[in-house]
Each structure stands twice: as C-alpha cells, then as structure tokens.
Chains A and B, each alone.
Chain A
Amino acid sequence: MNDRVFGVFTLLLTFFYIFSAYIVEESFISDHIGPKTYPYIVSFFLIASSLFLIFKPDIKPKWPEFRKIIEILMTAVILIMYAIFLPVIGFVFSTFFASSFISWRLGAKLSSAYTAGLIISVTIFILFRKILGLSLATGPFGF
C-alpha cells in the first residue's frame, strides 16, 4: 500500500520534472537533440516504473512508532541547522552541538554526550584542519 503512495509521489515528481525540462530555455546554438530530449527519455521510464508500483505494490513496510519519526525529523532539522550555522559560529562550536545531540539521541547520558561532542569536535579540528590542512569553517574566533 505504501508503495502506491510512493508511486503516486514519484509520478507527480515526474510530471514536475517533465515540466522543468519543458521550460528549459534553449539558446540559439545547441547540439543536435538539445537539453530536453534526454530528460524526456528518463521520464518515460520513471512513469512506467511508478505505474508499476501503483498497480503492483509490495507488502507494507514496518514503520516505527510516531515518536521515533518525530525524533528522526528532529535530528534532520538539527543537522540542517548545523549546516547553516557552521560558517557562522565556526567548526568547533557547531560540531560540538551537533555531535552531542546525535550521541544523546543514540542513548548516551547527557554528560557523556557532551564529553563525546567535545572530544569529537576538537579532535576532528586538530586532525583535519591543523594537521591535514583541510579548509573547515572558521567562525568569528578562527575555529
């Protein structure tokens, strides 16, 4: 049954995709088949397989309880916030918060989660920034 829902979703997505391909503004000069043909070919197979899912769905998967789904979404939000705040408050602080949060949600006690977060953020910073010279985000304090 869930396959049906997903099939309908991919079908709608495909229509959006076809529309997006349709509105591509071609320049005067182009290769022979242009930038639209290939997305149309892919769309054909997308529609076919979506329809297949709608008409011949597999059995329903086992979903986790509602509370878990909320938790997963929360984690996703935290990780997105992490991505946004990384260049703003710097690598060490943001990594500290994000990794502590994940550690906590995976069952560590708050205190050990904070310790883990601290160790992870500082170690990664030293290893990748100081030793390997990778460019990580630098916040107002330079780390």
Chain B
Amino acid sequence: MFKFISKITLVLSLFLFSTVTSFSFEPNNTKCIAPANAGGGWDFTCRAVGKALQDLSIINGSLEVTNMAGGGGGKAFAEVVNKRGSDDSLIVAASAATATRLAQGAYPGNSMDQVKWVGTIGADYGVIAVAGDSDVVTLGELLENLKTKPKKWVIGGGSAVGGWDHLKVLMAAKEYGISNVRKIKYVSFDGGGDAVTQLLAGNVQIFTGDVSEIKGFVDAGDIKIIAVLSPKRLPGDFSKFYTAKEQGVNVVGANWRGFYVPKGMSDDAYNFWAGAIKKMYDTPQWKKTMAKNGLAPLDLSGKAFEAFVANSVASIQTISKQIGIIK
C-alpha cells in the first residue's frame, strides 16, 4: 500500500514537473533595471517600453523599474553578471554608451559576452553640424579645415573626451584620411544642449551629437547640419540632410537603445523577450513614441542584435586603439 502510494506520488510529481517545464515562460513580476538615475535615457528606455508592453498586454501586470546608478552602467552590469545571472524576468536598459564602455574596458573585468543581448527599440543617429552663419557647407570642407587648421576648428559635444560623440567625428576624420586625429581639439560639455549653445556663442566651431539633441535648433535655423551619420537618409524633417556616406565618408554612428538580459536566462524566456520587443517595435503606437522622442528606425533582435553589438564593440575597440584611448 505504502509503496503504491509513493509510486503514485512519484508518477504524479514527475507528471507535474514535466508539465511545469513544458510550460513556456510566463512573464510575471517582470523587472527592468535602468543603470542610471531616474530621468536619463536608460530610465526612459525602461519606462517607455514598460508602458508599451503593459498597454499591449504582452506582459502580465507592470514592468517594475529599478534605478541602479553607478560606474556609468558598470554597477548594474556587474550586478547582473554576478548576482542575477539566471533571472528570467529581468531586462536591463542599454545603449551605444554601454557598448562603448565595454569596448574601452570601462567596466572593469566585464565583457559583452557575459550577458545576452535581446533587441533594440530604435536609434538616435549622429550628426555633425556648424553654426547657421558658418561658410562651411559640405563634410569634405569641414574635414579639410580640421586637417589643415586643427587649432582654429574646435569641436564641442556632450560626451567626455574619447566618448561616443567624440569618437564619431574622429571616425569620420580617420575615414577622410586625417592621420593624426589626436591634433583635433574636442571640448566636452554637459550634454548636447550645452554644446549647441556654445556653438552658437562661437566658443566652438563644430558640433557633434545626436539628432534628438538638436531638433529644435535646426528647425529654428540657428545651426546647419553638415552630415547625418546614418546608413540612409532619415525619415521626416531630416530627409533633406545628406548622410556622410553620400558625401564619400563612410561612417555610421547609431546611438541605439535596447536591452540585455542575464547570461543564464532560459532559452524560452530569452525568446519571449526578443519576441516581445520585436512585437512592440512593430506596432504603430511604438512608431509614434519613437517619432516623439527623436528615435530613428533600428530594428534588431535576438541573434542579429548579438552580432550587431559584437561588431560595434570590435570597431570601437579598433578606433580607440588607433587613437590611443586604450592600449
């Protein structure tokens, strides 16, 4: 009798167990880490996507946003790798800045293959601009000035020296054939808005930044866009501006926004998240959110996104080594 019962229990529990595991991932208690303080770009990524996923009923309940500032995202990265390596319900906001820092070794002891990369929700493309009353018209002229008179042509941008905004111009300069890019003067400001103001004031002559940062200024005619660093012309108002590629300088600078997840996440959960982001991306509502926030199309998910990140990490590493930011 006793044996019989225990056998039944065993069979039952096995059965139960197998049904549980055969269930695909249920998106309950979902969490999103924004690796910075409330109010920044990563915070926006978590909250906007959380709202969209909830509105579309892709997840059950709301996406709980946690701010985990520290080390320019390094703290959250370390936390995910070390402590939450197999959390199925966790996604973490990331952007081109994450890739840049990983590439330059700014997250000590961490590398991009310690997490899985899920997908993008859009990108903010780079621009190179000058003041509205400047004589410069083409990217060629601008880079020629940088080549011949590097002391007089000062570049301003929102990132640190060696950061993403700086790298974009240097990549263009390199592509144009300026060999000693270290002669180029770059001044770092607190964000794109500040840099544009200094451009208008004449304290710097060239601006490097992202489309969303300067939208208002371009419409007002205060500044002149010389080149957009996108693979194709941008949609909407920005379609009249030439890409760098069209002007013979083959450089693309996409400040993508997206997510990574813990390495030990189950395949079901990973596929769920990749699918969820993709599904959300394809809705008209999301297209609206993108347009509102100056995000241009960049649609990558799953393995394609993994490859994309690997690629950009590698190219940032190469240019950083050439410039001498890293050894």
A27→B187 contact, CB < 8 A: no
Hey, which chain B residues are within 8 Å of A30, CB to CB? 161
Hey, which chain A residues are within 8 Å of B162, CB to CB? 27, 29
Contact with A along B182-195 (1 / 0, CB 8 A): 10001110000000
In the complex the two chains form, what is the Cα distance from A133 to B323 in whole Å? 45
Hey, which chain B residues are within 8 Å of A29, CB to CB? 161-162, 182, 323-325
Cβ-neighbour of A31 out of B65, B67, B188, B326 (below 8 A): B188
A27→B66 contact, CB < 8 A: no
Hey, which chain A residues are within 8 Å of B65, CB to CB? 135
Asked if A28 is at the interface (CB within 8 A of a chain B CB), the reply is: yes
Asked if B64 is at the interface (CB within 8 A of a chain A CB), the reply is: yes
Within A28-45, the residues touching B (CB, 8 Å) are: 28-31
In the complex the two chains form, what is the Cα distance from A29 to B187 in whole Å? 12
A31→B187 contact, CB < 8 A: yes
- Assess A31 versus B324: contact at CB under 8 Å? Given A135-B64, A135-B65, A135-B67: no
Classify chain B: how many residues form its interface, as a range: 10 to 19
Q: How many A-B contacts if CB must be within 8 Å? A: 23
The smallest C-beta distance from B168 to any residue of chain A, in angstroms, reads 14
Contact with A along B301-327 (1 / 0, CB 8 A): 000000000000000000000011110
In the complex the two chains form, what is the Cα distance from A29 to B47 in whole Å? 36
The smallest C-beta distance from A30 to any residue of chain B, in angstroms, reads 6
B188→A27 contact, CB < 8 A: no
B161→A135 contact, CB < 8 A: no
Within B272-327, the residues touching A (CB, 8 Å) are: 323-326
Hey, which chain B residues are within 8 Å of A31, CB to CB? 161, 186-188
Chain B residue nearest to A32 (CB atoms) is B185
Cβ-neighbour of A28 out of B67, B182, B187 (below 8 A): B182
Chain B residue nearest to A142 (CB atoms) is B29
Within A11-61, the residues touching B (CB, 8 Å) are: 27-31
The smallest C-beta distance from B108 to any residue of chain A, in angstroms, reads 13
Hey, which chain B residues are within 8 Å of A135, CB to CB? 64-67
Contact with A along B50-73 (1 / 0, CB 8 A): 000000000000001111000000
Query: Can you pick out 17 interface pairs between chain A and chain B where the beta carbons lie within 8 Å of each other?
Result: A27-B162, A27-B324, A27-B325, A28-B323, A28-B324, A28-B325, A29-B161, A29-B162, A29-B182, A29-B324, A29-B325, A30-B161, A31-B186, A31-B187, A31-B188, A135-B64, A135-B65
- 4 new A-B contacts, CB < 8 A, other than A28-B325, A29-B325, A135-B64, are A28-B324, A29-B162, A30-B161, A31-B161
Q: Which 7 A-B pairs have the closest CB atoms?
A: A28-B324, A135-B66, A27-B325, A29-B182, A29-B325, A29-B323, A29-B162
